[in-house]
Amino acid sequence: MEFQQIIYGKENHIATITLNRPEKLNAYSEVMVHEILSALADARDDNEIRVVILTGAGRGFCSGGDISTDFQYPARYRGHRMESMLEMRENMHQLVKMLRRFDKPTIAAVNGPAVAGGLTLALCCDFRIAAQSARLGDTSLKFALIPDEGGAYLFPQFMGLQNALKMSLFSEVYPAAQAKELGLVTEVVPDAEFMSAVRAWAEKLAAGPPIAIRLTKRMMYKQQAMDLENALEDAAMATLVSNYCEDVKEGTAAFHEKRKPNFTGR
């Protein structure tokens, strides 16, 4: 596949999607969003891929939506009374939903600023590993815009309502260490060790039992909206898949033989 605004690669069961508009701190455009969607669909459907890394080229992760002077709504929406709603619904909102539904583990490798929609994009991933020099926050209101990509829903989930209101209404951006304290970041690592730490996380996930990992991830997300009775029933149903996988035999055999398991996803 050839892309204009992302770089997509696959190696050792790991897919890496790199936002590639470094001159704009990887501000997303319609083209970029649809390229990320295409790459994610490929990683989802490729049985060899077990983990996805999302990161940015240059010194930024993602600075949100492109609001540069040459930005225009896509031609098919232009002039429509609801052009902004249609543009959000058919573009960034599709990416947010796809990432949240993605059943393989995802890591946001936050190499630099992740603000506004860029922060939303990072929060859609399962883990956020940030370089020490990275900064995260919401600057939407500086431009009289709103956190319309999904931030109004996701920010309070990760940092609580009061902190989310403070961040957005005061347009605050935090150093990586403070963002971790607020719940926006999973791990902060020194810049010099950043990508090696990201790869170590991805490789450890890729070495795990793929089916059990995917089921566990989906259960945890789904069961947030369930009561205990339905959550237990959901878990019981999932065992009809997990308990009959070849990987269960491999995991048990490796334990008894005191060796590292070789999970195949079968």
Residues 6-57: tens digit of each pLDDT? 999 999 999 999 999 999 999 999 899 999 999 999 999 999 999 999 999 9
| % of the chain residues with pLDDT over 90 | 87
- Domain definitions of the chain by residue range: 6-206, 210-256
Query: What is the reported pLDDT for 71?
Result: 57
Residue 2 has pLDDT above 90, yes or no: no
Residue found under tokens 């470094």: 22
| Residue 69's pLDDT band (cuts 50, 70, 90) | low
Domain formed by 6-206, architecture: Alpha-Beta Complex (3.90)
Higher pLDDT among residues 250 and 61, named by residue:
61
Residues 108-159: tens digit of each pLDDT? 999 999 999 999 999 999 999 999 999 999 999 999 999 999 999 999 999 9
Half-sphere exposure of 168 (CA within 13 A, CB side): 24
Helix (H, G, I), strand (E, B) or coil at 134: coil
Q: What are the strands, taking DSSP E only, across the chain?
A: 6-11, 14-19, 51-56, 106-110, 114-115, 127-131, 135-137, 173-175, 187-189
Higher pLDDT among residues 91 and 177, named by residue:
177
| Residue 62's pLDDT band (cuts 50, 70, 90) | very high
Cβ(25)–Cβ(77) under 8 Å? Answer: no
What burial class does residue 129 get, using C-beta atoms within 10 Å of its C-beta: 0-12 exposed, 13-18 middle, 19+ buried? buried
pTM of the full structure: 0.92
Query: What is the reported pLDDT for 72?
Result: 57
Residues 239-254: tens digit of each pLDDT? 999 999 999 998 999 9
